[in-house]
Amino acid sequence: MSKVLVSDPIDQAGIDILSQVATVDVKTNLKPEELISIIGEYDALMIRSGTRVTQEIIEAGTNLKIIGRAGVGVDNVHVPTATRHGIVVVNSPEGNTIAAAEHAIAMMLALSRHIPDANASVKRGEWDRKTFVGTEVYKKTLGIVGLGKIGSHVAAVAKAMGMKLLAFDPFISTERAEQIGCQLVDMDLLAQQADYITLHIPKTPETTHLINAELLAKMKPNARIINCARGGIIDEDALANALKSGQIIGAAIDVFESEPLGESKLRDIGKEIILTPHLGASTAEAQVNVAIDVAEQIRDVLLGLPARSAVNIPGLGPDVLEELKPYMQLAETLGKLVGQLAGGRVELLNIRLQGELATNTSQPLVIASLKGLLHQALRERVNYVNASIEAKERGIRVIETRDASIRDYSGSLHLEATGNLGTHAVTGVLLGDSEIHLTNIDGFPINVPPSQHMLFTLHRDMPGIIGKLGSLLGSFNVNIASMQVGRKIVRGDAVMTLSLDDPLPDGILAEIIKVPGIRDAYTVTL
Ligand SMILES: NC(=O)c1ccc[n+]([C@@H]2O[C@H](COP(=O)([O-])OP(=O)(O)OC[C@H]3O[C@@H](n4cnc5c(N)ncnc54)[C@H](O)[C@@H]3O)[C@@H](O)[C@H]2O)c1
Ligand SMILES: O=C(O)[C@H](O)COP(=O)(O)O
């Protein structure tokens, strides 16, 4: 049974899902050296923002197949190292969107009405109604930096509260911003015009210290800033100075350059600042959402299935994946089959998307085909993460083509592998929504579902040959589950496709090829 280590507090709903397929150990607050010493035992690691998954930890995780981040940000995971080691990194891109957006709105209102300090004063026994006179957000300008999932929800709520919306997001179209009710502006204009600025961007080299002394100086003197995105986007020293000097009047900060927050100038500032300990995603609902979302993906990957929100598999967004998942399984099966038929060293893989499939995104199917193709050589070392890199390193050229005019089934996938031992081709389709059928082997039409152990022969279509092969297999105690012959003309060349209950014993292929009329034989394990 697989083993999963959960190293941050995760909702029980996620643990229950993982427990269906793995032994789950929950060990939180581990020191880096403790994690390094035990990570080698585990197939999967599930974390939140509390665990920093460094290069060293990943390298010590010699059995790791997946790192699951129960949340959005994967900046605490050294993703390039995970990719190099073929470890899938998944997150939950939407599970805590509402929670984070609502926290930002709560911070904005709490700042405007001095709620934390007013609350503290009443609890101290005071009744001071003068000090805590607030401001309304109605008709004020909110500058949203990052108009993605969280930024868009903040925009919708703020609009309903009667705020005017500006947004800075260089990757969003004007049309999209207008749909959300925001006017797209550059960062300087946003800083100059906004009464409130709220940050909803990832931390990247471009966004690190995006809010610095220079930008703070451009803000209105009565402006407030909210950061529920990532620590380090605001230069904390510059913010402390701007608040102390009265350059801006308020800040609400949930995330910090270094967490947990240690010694910090921000702690010394009075009622102008609200600090929360990275609580953006901390709602009961969000924690259930992210735990289920990520645990399901870990479960799928441990069962050999693709993950829907892998951050280090190019082209595999959740929408694409949902639609293509069955086709990826088809591609992987065909890749395994054609790789074993070709034998030896494959130099060229031709992938043709046919019929209705021709209009689909091909990249996930290419990745899945390569994963199948390389399985023989690399076994579980190859996965969706590293299949393209491994193929490139082995000098396998990939050609993708599309032919919408081939309509023998609504959509089919054709793989042709050329190597040092020759060329072989297979075609497959999905019947219903997910039932894989092989429809062509080396140009011969067939219609069989793949099975774990298969035998293919190339032979002359003539009386008695099936019986002779059946007897031979029987003499080796090999049970045939099903058999089908594919031929182009009667008594010409043909292929026989057999599904077997057991793997073929060593040495039997040489005997099969001796049967008169059989020219070649291939065993395949899928
Ligand atoms: N405080 C918390 O607990 C908490 C919870 C959830 C998410 N987050 C953080 O919130 C942030 C936003 O999350 P999301 O789910 O909305 O992400 P998202 O990917 O949906 O949106 C991010 C947006 O930022 C924009 N962007 C990227 N680089 C930019 C740049 N240089 N300048 C301006 N815009 C830029 C992108 O175009 C995108 O629209 C992330 O940093 C995430 O880690 C924090
Ligand atoms: O990126 C995220 O999802 C948030 O920062 C939440 O982090 P958390 O899971 O540690 O609360």
Q: What is the CATH number of the domain that holds 167?
A: 3.40.50.720
Q: The domain containing residue 29 runs over which residues?
A: 2-95+286-302
With a 6 A CB cut-off, is 125 part of the ligand 1 pocket?
no
Catalytic residue among 69, 114, 200, 278: 278
* DSSP H stretches of helix in 344-450: 363-378, 387-393
Query: How large is the ipTM?
Result: 0.99
Q: Please, what sign has the CA dihedral across residues 397, 400, 406, 408?
A: positive
- Ligand closest in space to the Cα of 228: 1
Domain boundary among 450, 480, 515: 450
Judge whether 240 lies within some domain: yes
What is the dihedral sign for C-alpha 341, 342, 345, 350?
Answer: negative
Q: Is residue 281 part of a domain?
A: no
Domain CATH code at residue 339: 3.30.1330.90
- Both 456 and 446 in a single domain? no
Secondary structure (3-state) at 119: helix
Domain contains 307: no
Distance 207 CA to ligand 2 centre (A): 18
Are 133 and 260 part of one and the same domain? yes
- Closest ligand 2 atom to residue 92 Cα is 3
pLDDT, residue 314, reads 65
Pairing of β 44-47 and β 66-69 = parallel
Angstrom distance (rounded) from CA 412 to CA 428: 6
Residues 6+ apart with CB under 8 A from 377: 394
**Is residue 415 lining ligand 1, measured as CB closer than 6 Å?**
no
Tens digit of each residue's pLDDT (9 = 90 or more) over 461-510: 989 999 999 999 999 999 999 999 999 888 889 999 999 998 888 889 99
Active site residue 352: no
When divided into structural domains, the chain yields a total of 4
Q: How far is CA 438 from the centre of its chain?
A: 29
For the question of residue 259 being annotated catalytic, the response is: yes
Closest ligand to the CA of 202: 1
CB 234 within 8 A of CB 205: no
Ligand 2 within 6 A of 49 CB?
Answer: yes
Residue 20 lies in a domain: yes
Mutation choice for ligand 2 from 67, 79, 96, CB with most ligand atoms inside 8 A: 96
Tell how far the Cα of 178 is from the centroid of ligand 1, in angstroms.
Answer: 19
**Cis preceding-peptide flag for 116 (omega within 30 of 0):** no
Is the CB–ligand 2 distance for residue 282 below 6 Å? yes
278 annotated active-site: yes
Same domain, 401 and 348: yes
Q: Do 444 and 495 belong to one domain?
A: no
Ligand 1 center to residue 95 CA distance, Å?
A: 14
298/64 Cα distance (integer angstroms): 11
Contacts of 149 (CB under 8 A, 6+ apart): 93, 94, 97
Listed residues 393, 417, 450: the one ending a domain = 450
Q: Is 306 in the pocket of ligand 2 (CB under 6 A)?
A: no
Reduce the DSSP state of residue 337 to 3 states and report it: helix
pLDDT of residue 414: 97
Which of ligand 1's atoms lies nearest the C-alpha of 151?
16
Residues of the chain below pLDDT 50: none
| CA–centroid distance, residue 203 to ligand 2 (Å) | 13
For position 463, which CATH number holds? 3.30.70.260
Same domain, 107 and 182: yes
Q: Could you tell me the pTM of the whole model? A: 0.74
392 and 463 within one domain: no
Both 49 and 161 in one domain: the answer is: no
pLDDT at residue number 204: 86
Looking from the CA of residue 230, the nearest atom of ligand 1 is 41
Q: Are the C-beta atoms of 319 and 383 separated by less than 8 Å? A: no
- Does residue 170 have its Cβ closer than 6 Å to ligand 1? yes
Which alpha helices (H) appear in 62-186, and where do they start and end? 79-84, 97-112, 115-123, 149-160, 174-180
Do 108 and 246 sit in the same domain of this protein? yes
Residues 414 and 383 grouped into a single domain: yes
